[in-house]
Amino acid sequence: MKNALDKNHMIEPCIEKSHQATLFAKNITKRYGTGSTEVIAVRDVSLMIQPGEVVLIMGPSGSGKTTLLLILGALLKPTHGEIRMGEEDLVAMSEKKLPEIRLRKFGFIFQDFNLLSALTVKENVAIAAQLAGLKGRQARAKAETILVDLGLEDRLNFLPEKLSGGEKQRVAIARALVNDPALILADEPTANLDSKIGQEVMRMLRRIAKDQNRSVIIVSHDPRIKEIADRVLWLEDGQFKDMVEMALDPVCGMAVERENAPASLEYQGETYYFCADGCQQEFASSPQHFLSPDHSLQHKV
Amino acid sequence: MIRSFRLYEASISTLSVLLLYPYSYEMTISVAVKNLLQDKVRILLSATGVALAVMLILVLNGFVTGLYQQVSAYLDNSPGTLVITQRGVTNMLGATSLIPTDTMDRALELQTVADAVPILSQFVILNLHDLKQPAYLIGYPGGPGTPASRGGPWNIIQGREPLTNGEMVFDQVLAKRHNLRLGDRFELMGQEFKIVGLSDGTTSWMTSFIFLRKVAVEELLRAPEATSFLLVSQEPGIDQAQVINQLKQLEGIEVLPKETIVANDTKLLVEVFSTPLQLMAGIAFFVGVLVVGLVIYTATIERQREYGVLKSIGACNRFLYKLVIIQATVAAALGAIAGIGFALGLAKTIMHFRPEFLIIFESDLIWLALGSSFAISLLAAIVPARTIAKLEPAMVFQRGR
Ligand SMILES: Nc1ncnc2c1ncn2[C@@H]1O[C@H](COP(=O)(O)OP(=O)(O)OP(=O)(O)O)[C@@H](O)[C@H]1O
Ligand SMILES: [Mg+2]
């Protein structure tokens, strides 16, 4: 499933692109603990998410998926790295400002739904809107609109315990949407749903992303979600591993997916892949310079 | 009452801080109340905890108030504004006083003195049904006017005042306790008296009043013309200090305003009890804090995942504090109302079975109850609020950690 916007991935030198991106994460590393108990959950990961893009992060258990998602959602500070959302640097941001960002820029969806048990469906959604400053009646009206849109018109005044798993997850999606977030983050959203319901909910999420131009990052083990994703990233041991064939940009040294490279050039019977047009042009001006052993050594990992 | 006033002030100021919080109140309160109502046993437990604490605080407080009233009852109801006592004696109940016999005439000679009533009093131990019962004998003069205007009983609910030396008015609570009725004979210090009247408001759990003619007490004590105290009324429109100065010229006496005597009696008789009573009220308060605190704390711990969810979707700590505080406050308010009811009931019961205990609730009772329960709820919310503050929003995603 290809999309015009998904040509950008972990492209470090092409900063100009990052301004339009929903989220731009650079060299993220997360270390838990110290000394003998130290775990490096995420190692030097860079990632760019475009508006309307649905990105699926997969990988074995313990590979750091949840950790990365928490960092991208400003719920956890990375040990190193930078996360930018528009002009704002989320890593440098003070703890006091973060709730506001979480409230307005992100929508979170959890594996076990995490609805508030004492509140009805409508109240569960409205509370998020009220936290963002909407008055009670407006908040409830907005909640209702979204819930009806997600097919929950018969469940508005139910308590969560009376709902099926799929319904609960739809309520959670409504809650995540109610403050018009730019980015929705979901951790194993289908793990507690049977596969048919899970598929349905995920298709719903894709439709929302496309219709409303919101970005979605989903962490999942579930390979069936692949079909709704624009891009699938494989995290292993805290690092993205190639799911597709990767090539090194001979100019800047970035890893580039061959299939989706923004630019490529045939030279002396070889195809070279570039992270951006700029690199391609630079290469074209003096290919020999970039192919000399001196230069490529700099990029050997 | 200074203590309750401070509580009242504290609650008002905390309330205003709460009102300044952002977010609509409607939502916070509704979420808090729904959280609370989800577990009925829990709200019952915490409200009962507060109710019992409030009840104890109110009853102990009312008891102290009652003691104050009992101690000042005699002087409140007797004539005059000044009391003349023996030199060196500065209180009335629990003191023995004898003033020079010519004091009354000398006092009446003064232009500024309107009237002086001589009282001969004696603290005695009665042997009633083999029980030792402390009592306070008041010998007061006969004459025109109400008995009260001569330092006698001020509320005779049965019978009349003693008109001869062989008659007495007995405190009705003491009389009832020992099955004494109007017309009964009562032996006092080897002499027999007839009970001709029963008086009300003349008892405390320490001592009860018995009223006799002054001459009768003189005979009992074998002290003719002896006087313990003079109750002095001054002419209207004259500075009290001037009267006191003039009276002070007399030999062998002290001149004290009634309020001073009451204050001294209070110091002697009430404050001994008031300290442990206040201490008990304080303990009740902290037990209340502990009960509500524990209930709200377990409720918070149980719900910490939900609080974490709220945090992860962007609720700030203050909002969550408010949730916890409102829960504690609602529980405490319910408790306060129940506590007032309990206190009234308990006081009624106590005074029914032990009428010598006087428990008085003043009008600031409501404030005392609300103030202490609100303080209880705020203190009870501290630990849970800290627990919430420490919650990592990320914890919601990290299962089994
Ligand atoms: N709070 C923490 N403290 C210490 N170590 C942690 C913490 N959270 C995660 N880890 C460790 O970091 C690594 C990555 O964990 P993470 O939960 O991100 O993996 P995951 O890919 O989401 O796994 P799963 O698929 O099982 O959910 C693991 O080795 C884990 O033990
Ligand atoms: Mg995980």
Give the pLDDT of residue B338: 92
Which amino acid would we find at residue B394? A
Q: Is B397 on the interface with A (CB under 8 A)?
A: yes
Paired with B203 in beta bridges are: B208
**Contact at CB, A66 and B398, closer than 8 angstroms:** yes
Question: Which residues does chain B have within 8 Å of residue A131's beta carbon, measured at their own beta carbons?
Answer: 23, 310, 313-315, 319
Asked if residue A97 has pLDDT above 50, the reply is yes
**Residue B346 φ then ψ, to 5°:** -65, -40
Q: Are A105 and A181 in contact (CB under 8 A)?
A: yes
**Two structure tokens written together for A295:** 């230069």
Question: Which residues does chain B have within 8 Å of residue A175's beta carbon, measured at their own beta carbons?
Answer: 313
Give the pLDDT of residue B15: 54
**Contact at CB, A128 and B316, closer than 8 angstroms:** no
Q: Are A8 and A274 in contact (CB under 8 A)?
A: no
Three-state secondary-structure class, residue A48: strand
Average pLDDT over residues A149-177: 94
Asked if residue A13 has pLDDT above 60, the reply is no
- Number of domains chain A contains: 2
The pLDDT > 90 percentage for chain B reads 40
A15 and A102, same structural domain? yes
Chain position carrying tokens 């992303």:
A209
Give the pLDDT of residue A79: 95
Ligand 1 lining (C-beta closer than 6 Å): A 32-33, 39, 41, 59, 61-67; B 398, 401
Q: Is residue A146 part of a domain?
A: no
Domain ranges of chain B: 2-69+272-399, 100-251
CA of A293 to nearest chain B CA: how many angstroms apart? 46
Q: Are B321 and B393 in contact (CB under 8 A)?
A: no
**Cross-chain CB nearest to B319 (options A100, A102, A131):** A131
Asked if residue A47 has pLDDT above 70, the reply is yes
Whose CA is closest to A184, among A7, A51, A24?
Answer: A51
Asked if residue B98 has pLDDT above 90, the reply is yes
In terms of CA atoms, which chain B residue is nearest residue A64? B398
- Strands across the sheet containing A231-236: A106-109, A183-187, A215-219, A54-58, A231-236, A239-241
A16 and A80, same structural domain? yes
Three-state secondary-structure class, residue A221: coil
Mutate which of A31, A65, A79, A241 for ligand 1 pocket (most atoms within 8 A of beta carbon): A65
Chain position carrying tokens 């590393």:
A29
Average pLDDT over residues A38-51: 92
More confident residue, B37 or A102: A102
CA distance A124 to A109: 13
Per residue, what are the HEC states of chain B?
A: CHHHHHHHHHHHHHHHHHHCCCCCHHHHHHHHHHHHHCCHHHHHHHHHHHHHHHHHHHHHHHHHHHHHHHHHHHHHHCCCCEEEEECCCCCCCCCCCCECCCHHHHHHHCCCEEEEEEEEEEEEEEEECCEEEEEEEEEECCCCCCHHHHCCCCCEEEECCCCCCCEEEEEHHHHHHCCCCCCCEEEECCEEEEEEEEECCCECCCCEEEEEEHHHHHHHCCCCCCECEEEEEECCCCCHHHHHHHHCCCCCEEEEEHHHHHHHHHHHHCHHHHHHHHHHHHHHHHHHHHHHHHHHHHHHHHCHHHHHHHHHCCCCHHHHHHHHHHHHHHHHHHHHHHHHHHHHHHHHHHHHHCCCCCCCCCCCHHHHHHHHHHHHHHHHHHHHHHHHHHCCHHHHCCCCC
Instruction: List pLDDT tens digits, range B266-285.
Output: 888 777 778 888 888 889 88
Mutate to test the interface with A, among B31, B320, B397, B399 (most CBs of A within 10 A): B397
In terms of CA atoms, which chain B residue is nearest residue A184? B313
Asked if residue A3 has pLDDT above 80, the reply is no
**Contact at CB, B306 and A130, closer than 8 angstroms:** no
The CB density around residue B263, as the number of other CB atoms within 10 Å, is 16
Range(s) of the domain holding residue A265: 249-298
Average pLDDT over residues A193-205: 90
Average pLDDT over residues A159-183: 94
CA of B400 to nearest chain A CA: how many angstroms apart? 12
Q: Are A156 and A199 in contact (CB under 8 A)?
A: no
- Angle (CA) B35-B36-B41 rounded to 5° is 130
Q: Is residue A230 part of a domain?
A: yes
Beta pairing, strands A215-219 & A183-187 = parallel
**Residue B78 φ then ψ, to 5°:** -105, 165
Q: Are A204 and A150 in contact (CB under 8 A)?
A: yes
Mutate to test the interface with A, among B21, B302, B312 (most CBs of A within 10 A): B312
Question: Which residues does chain A have within 8 Å of residue B310's beta carbon, measured at their own beta carbons?
Answer: 116, 127, 131
A97 and A77, same structural domain? yes
Nearest protein CA to atom 25 of ligand 1, as residue: A61
Nearest protein CA to atom 29 of ligand 1, as residue: A62
Give the pLDDT of residue B50: 87
Q: Is residue A164 part of a domain?
A: no
Give the pLDDT of residue B319: 85
Whose CA is closest to A203, among A189, A192, A191, A221?
Answer: A189
Chain position carrying tokens 């009562």:
B186
Asked if residue B9 has pLDDT above 60, the reply is no
* A108, containing H or E segment: strand A106-109
A275 and A195, same structural domain? no
Give the pLDDT of residue A10: 44
- Angle (CA) B334-B336-B342 rounded to 5° is 105
A81 and A28, same structural domain? yes
CA distance B311 to B331: 24
Domain boundary pick from A231, A246, A261: A246
Q: Is residue A166 part of a domain?
A: no
A30 and A81, same structural domain? yes
Query: What is the band of B401 on the pLDDT scale with cuts at 50, 70, 90?
Result: very low
Tell how far the Cα of B75 is from the centroid of ligand 2, in angstroms: 80
A290 and A194, same structural domain? no
A188 and A276, same structural domain? no
- Angle (CA) A135-A136-A141 rounded to 5° is 100
Paired with B191 in beta bridges are: B188
Q: Are B372 and B285 in contact (CB under 8 A)?
A: yes
Q: Are B360 and B69 in contact (CB under 8 A)?
A: yes
CA distance A235 to A62: 10
Put simply, the chain B residues between 32 and 91 with a CB less than 8 A from any chain A CB are 34-35, 37-38
Q: Are A239 and A43 in contact (CB under 8 A)?
A: yes
Give the pLDDT of residue A269: 80
**Cross-chain CB nearest to A102 (options B23, B312, B397):** B312
Q: Is B394 on the interface with A (CB under 8 A)?
A: yes
Q: What is the ipTM of this complex?
A: 0.74
Give the pLDDT of residue A248: 76
Q: Is residue A133 part of a domain?
A: no
Q: Longest Cα pair distance anywhere in chain A, in angstroms?
A: 69
Q: Is residue A88 part of a domain?
A: yes
Which amino acid would we find at residue A110? F
Instruction: List pLDDT tens digits, range B240-271.
Output: 999 999 999 998 999 999 999 999 988 887 77
Instruction: List pLDDT tens digits, range A220-277.
Output: 988 888 889 999 999 999 998 865 566 778 888 777 777 677 888 888 888 888 888 8
CA torsion angle for B370, B375, B376, B381 (degrees, to 10)?
A: 130
pTM over 0.95: no
The CB density around residue A257, as the number of other CB atoms within 10 Å, is 19
Nearest protein CA to atom 7 of ligand 1, as residue: A32
Which amino acid would we find at residue B41? V
Asked if residue B315 has pLDDT above 60, the reply is yes
A102 and A37, same structural domain? yes
Tell how far the Cα of A66 is from the centroid of ligand 1, in angstroms: 7
**Two structure tokens written together for A80:** 């190193």
Q: Is residue A46 part of a domain?
A: yes
Residues 6 or more apart whose Cβ sits within 8 Å of residue B386: none
Q: Is residue A136 part of a domain?
A: no
Question: Which residues does chain B have within 8 Å of residue A62's beta carbon, measured at their own beta carbons?
Answer: none
Which amino acid would we find at residue B221? L
Average pLDDT over residues B314-340: 87
Mean pLDDT score across all residues of chain A: 86
Residues A92-116 as b/e (b if ≥16 CB within 10 A, e otherwise) read ebeeeebbebbbbbbbbbbbbbbbb
**Cross-chain CB nearest to B313 (options A70, A108, A119):** A108
**Two structure tokens written together for A198:** 């899970």
* A16, containing H or E segment: helix A15-18
- Please name which ligand lies nearest the alpha carbon of A72: 1
Instruction: List pLDDT tens digits, range B160-189.
Output: 999 999 999 999 988 988 889 999 999 888
CA torsion angle for B125, B127, B132, B137 (degrees, to 10)?
A: -30
Q: Is B318 on the interface with A (CB under 8 A)?
A: no
Three-state secondary-structure class, residue A284: helix
- Residue A15 sits in a domain whose CATH number is 3.40.50.300
Q: Is B363 on the interface with A (CB under 8 A)?
A: no
